[in-house]
Structure 1
Amino acid sequence: MKNCLVFIVLLFCLNNLGFSQNKFVIQNKKQSDKIKFKLINNLVVIPVEINGVTLSFILDTGVSKPIIFNFLNVSDTLKIKDTETIFLRGLGEGESVEALKSSNNIFRIGDALKLNQDLYAVFNNKLNFASKLGIPVHGIIGFDLFRDFIVEINYSTGYLKLTNPERFKYKVCKKCERFNLEFYNGKPYINAEVKIEDKIIPVKLLIDSGGSDALWLFENKSLGITSSNAYFVDFLGHGLNGSVYGKRSKVNSFFLKSFTLKNANVAFPDSTSISLAKQIKNRNGSLSGNILKRFDVIFDYQKALVTFKKNRHFKEKFSHNKSGIELEHDGVRLVKEVDKNTLKGNTVFEEDDAQNNNNRIVINTQYKISLKPAYAIVELREDSPAQKAGLLIGDIVISVNNKQVHEYSLQQIMQMFYDDAGKRIRLKVDRNGKLLTFQFFLQKLF
């Protein structure tokens, strides 16, 4: 499955996060539970029940406490209580974001239950990641879950397994690599190596399962961490405090001990967008979903260990968006489609008027009018094939290669933009009520 450029990159700083006595507890005899998850744009999306309401959360090793977005839509149902207003800082160049800190919330994930969970509810409706992923997503959760369990993420089967550390036994695995973890503010860091311009460079990386990219590296000329001449400037993702832009390129190789990933994607974010992230001493970047998904991973926070085992995604080629377009869900539109529940044919009503002339009303019962998702262009890379073809930010995409967009998911459409260079893409768009057709060819940039 090719990768889509939708990023959820959050740096949420909360200090003094010890291993609290308030814990998740698995309510079964095995002290272990498996939860089915969805892998959307390299992100793990799991069901989380909060105060009796089931929501969808991204499992994010890069956050310290659960954060709820879409807050205004779910606040009444969740019955959030014991609140205080705070302001959060994260990635991006914008201002701090207002949020409510809430205590004494009941969280349930599968058979795992916690009766006194803090969460942070964000007011800013621009932080609606559902529109960027094309599915309902209400928030993110990380440290509190990883702290209390051995967490196994099986990217190849789509299952998350939670186990009480006292019941977990490591299996002999000759094809695995195990690493020590370092923690800062409740977030895990790993030591790895990258090869740039024939130089092997040790790097300390945040393990960020809430980012859908492969690698982010912070440019540092003294260490040799710089982009090659083959790069392009692009939108990298949405941070808590705004959008993040930077360079996209490749590294010759990325090493996790004996595991080698060649020609791995890398992004070099603008320094102004990551000033807070760079405050962590000796941090060189992030290791995210496009690499994590190539392994089945075991996180053991209590022993400060992480274990990697290659899976069926390991040999997938790294690709990039060759169109220059980023799409988001943008409300709904009325669509005329065949109604499979009705018989073929038309219904005819006749009425005689005073002049003995028949008035005929013909209703075509083969079709129905439905509300379907609308997808809008929200980012357009400068000098990209799509921009040169004449497309604009704000265009609503109606069809892709002569097929209506509502027949695709947002991820399926974005995957088309990662296809082979030279492939023709034909888009029909609605621009302020006027239907226009454009075509362009995907272009490889490095």
Structure 2
Amino acid sequence: MKRFVFFVIVFFFLNNPVFSQGKFTVQNKHKSDKVRFELINNLIIIPVEINGVTLSFLLDTGVSKPIIFNFLNVSDTLKIKNTESIFLRGLGEGEQVEALKSSNNILKIGDAIKLNQELYAIYDANLNLAPKLGFPVHGIIGNDIFKDLIVEINYSNKYLKLTEPEVYRYKKCKKCETFNLEFHNSKPYINTEVTIKNKEIPVKLLIDSGGSDVLWLFENDSLGIKSSDMFFNDFLGHGLSGSIYGKRTTIDALHLKSFVLKNANVAYPDSTSVLFARMVKDRNGSLAGNVLKRFNLIFDYQKAKVTLNKNSFFKEKFSYNKSGIELAHDGVRLIKELDIKASNGSNLERNDDVANNTKVVLETTYKFSLKPAYIIVELRENSPAEKVGLQKGDIIVSINSKASYQFTLQQLIQEFHEDSGKRIRLIVDRNGNELTFNFKLENPLTKKP
């Protein structure tokens, strides 16, 4: 059973977004194309070609315009032109972020092409998703694809199908559920229900494929939307305007018409972090990737509807990080390891004094390789990891006697989502010294006084 760490991608709120005059069209005779994607931490990463350069983009229904993380001066390679400075604001308690707005760019996703595309380049080095995902991500794209094409997201088989609305034909699906969409600032919302403390509550939720959590709700005592007594305070993710913190707990159920997800995880972000998100009238929160991936979806913005059909992920258990450790990719480390290939080529020495006895001498050969390094970037207060003395900035050398570089970032994090009571033995590098720490995973949901 795969388990995923929860990671929150920013919601972008652009002031007075202006849409380009062009639109995406599929340049083949079928007017439809499939595009394979990577599913990393409940997030969809697709190849996007900008001005002839292929990059990796997060597909995010919560973003109005494509955004490039320009910390590597990608715009120089892309030959971005016609730029002007603007300021963007997102989740978090920090200030607005400066960006360059550019027009007349050419975007290509599979056979879908758009001319005269606007995009935004952000130079803030902190807005870099690659270390947090362990996968290169150069930017985010959303509404421009969805508003022009019918977008099928097949999470189970990891592909998008992009089709021009004029030729799209719906198939009969008795087990599917269809929701009407509402749009605010080019972002899609659905009306559904949650059950909290045995009370069914109508909620309006942003569909946010750019967030890997399950569900975010904005606390509202008058509506009965509030945390239970069983919760823990946690880091929820990075927003465009800073880090986001809040409470994590569970709700009785999330209802998507006939589809019911019981005991679903929920996060209640601090009110100051989501001040601008709450400005959308009657919005109660967000529906994110750990719910969306449980369905294969059809987004039809022109008819303002989305269709859900549950897939093989539907029954996957919800889990929490039971260590308190948040990790990120931190470049590479020089690792000394046995060179097995070279050792196998060593000379053999025969001992003729003893009949039928062969003495083999292997020359031990080592090689040095660059391997990925993983660093602790957040540590939950009073968590098992914090209690034994682990610290932010510690680099994970090994976990349970297995070198950390033998894991992907997501595989390593999944170790912290195993059952309560599992023993974890970490060796970390702290300022050049290797230290060993032992702890057990603990259920973070405890009753608060």
Residue 260 of structure 1 is matched in structure 2 by 260
Write the mapping of 1:45-124 to structure 2, written as runs, cut at 5 A: 45-124=45-124
Q: CA deviation at 1:343?
A: 4.7
Q: CA deviation at 1:345?
A: 5.6
What is the identity, as a one-letter code, of the residue corresponding to 2:235?
F
Look up the SS of the partner of 1:387 in the other structure.
helix
Look up the SS of the partner of 2:137 in the other structure.
coil
Q: CA deviation at 1:336?
A: 1.5
1:12–1:342 CA distance, 2 compared to 1 (3 A)? farther
What is the identity, as a one-letter code, of the residue corresponding to 1:180?
N
Q: CA deviation at 1:16?
A: 5.1
1:118–1:364 CA distance, 2 compared to 1 (3 A)? farther
Query: Do 2:27 and 2:112's aligned partners in 1 also have CA atoms closer than 8 Å?
Result: yes
Query: Do 1:344 and 1:365's aligned partners in 2 also have CA atoms closer than 8 Å?
Result: no
Residue 360 of structure 1 is matched in structure 2 by none
Look up the SS of the partner of 1:157 in the other structure.
coil
Per-residue CA deviations over 1:313-356 (Å, capped at 9, x if unaligned) read: 00111101000000011121101123354352669xxxxxxxxx
Look up the SS of the partner of 1:415 in the other structure.
helix
Query: Do 1:5 and 1:326's aligned partners in 2 also have CA atoms closer than 8 Å?
Result: no
Query: Given the alignment of the two structures, is residue 433 of structure 1 paired with residue 432 of structure 2, yes or no?
Result: yes
Per-residue CA deviations over 1:1-29 (Å, capped at 9, x if unaligned) read: 211122212232243556x5410111100
Write the mapping of 1:406-417 to structure 2, written as runs, cut at 5 A: 406-417=405-416
- Aligned partners of 1:6 and 1:34: how far apart in 2? 27
Query: Do 2:343 and 2:363's aligned partners in 1 also have CA atoms closer than 8 Å?
Result: no
Query: Do 2:156 and 2:313's aligned partners in 1 also have CA atoms closer than 8 Å?
Result: yes
Look up the SS of the partner of 1:278 in the other structure.
helix
Look up the SS of the partner of 1:23 in the other structure.
coil
Unaligned runs of 5+ in 1: 348-362
- Aligned partners of 1:440 and 1:10: how far apart in 2? 35
Look up the SS of the partner of 2:230 in the other structure.
coil
Per-residue CA deviations over 1:124-164 (Å, capped at 9, x if unaligned) read: 00011100000100110000000110000000110111000
Query: Do 1:14 and 1:185's aligned partners in 2 also have CA atoms closer than 8 Å?
Result: no
Query: Given the alignment of the two structures, is residue 321 of structure 1 paired with residue 321 of structure 2, yes or no?
Result: yes
Identity of aligned residues (%): 68
Residue 359 of structure 1 is matched in structure 2 by none
Write the mapping of 1:135-150 to structure 2, written as runs, cut at 5 A: 135-150=135-150
- With normalisation by structure 1, the TM-score equals 0.94
Q: CA deviation at 1:79?
A: 1.1
Query: Do 2:12 and 2:88's aligned partners in 1 also have CA atoms closer than 8 Å?
Result: no
- Aligned partners of 1:384 and 1:343: how far apart in 2? 44
Query: Do 2:59 and 2:210's aligned partners in 1 also have CA atoms closer than 8 Å?
Result: yes
Look up the SS of the partner of 1:342 in the other structure.
helix
What is the identity, as a one-letter code, of the residue corresponding to 1:406?
Y
Mean CA deviation greater in 331-340 or 414-423: 331-340
Look up the SS of the partner of 1:412 in the other structure.
helix
Look up the SS of the partner of 2:306 in the other structure.
strand
What is the identity, as a one-letter code, of the residue corresponding to 1:200?
E
Q: CA deviation at 1:367?
A: 2.4
Q: CA deviation at 1:267?
A: 0.2
- Aligned partners of 1:295 and 1:150: how far apart in 2? 16
Look up the SS of the partner of 1:135 in the other structure.
coil
Query: Do 2:15 and 2:88's aligned partners in 1 also have CA atoms closer than 8 Å?
Result: no
- Aligned partners of 1:70 and 1:211: how far apart in 2? 21
Residue 15 of structure 1 is matched in structure 2 by 16
What is the identity, as a one-letter code, of the residue corresponding to 1:46?
I
Residue 305 of structure 1 is matched in structure 2 by 305
Unaligned runs of 5+ in 2: 348-361
Query: Do 2:17 and 2:64's aligned partners in 1 also have CA atoms closer than 8 Å?
Result: no
- Aligned partners of 1:307 and 1:367: how far apart in 2? 56
Residue 403 of structure 1 is matched in structure 2 by 402
Residue 249 of structure 1 is matched in structure 2 by 249
Mean CA deviation greater in 157-166 or 337-346: 337-346
Per-residue CA deviations over 1:27-62 (Å, capped at 9, x if unaligned) read: 100000001101101000000011111110000000
Look up the SS of the partner of 1:15 in the other structure.
coil
Residue 231 of structure 1 is matched in structure 2 by 231
- Aligned partners of 2:39 and 2:18: how far apart in 1? 29
- Aligned partners of 2:47 and 2:435: how far apart in 1? 40
What is the RMSD computed on CA atoms of the aligned residues? 1.7
Residue 385 of structure 1 is matched in structure 2 by 384
Per-residue CA deviations over 1:268-297 (Å, capped at 9, x if unaligned) read: 000000000000000000000000000001
- Aligned partners of 1:182 and 1:365: how far apart in 2? 66
- Aligned partners of 2:65 and 2:364: how far apart in 1? 52
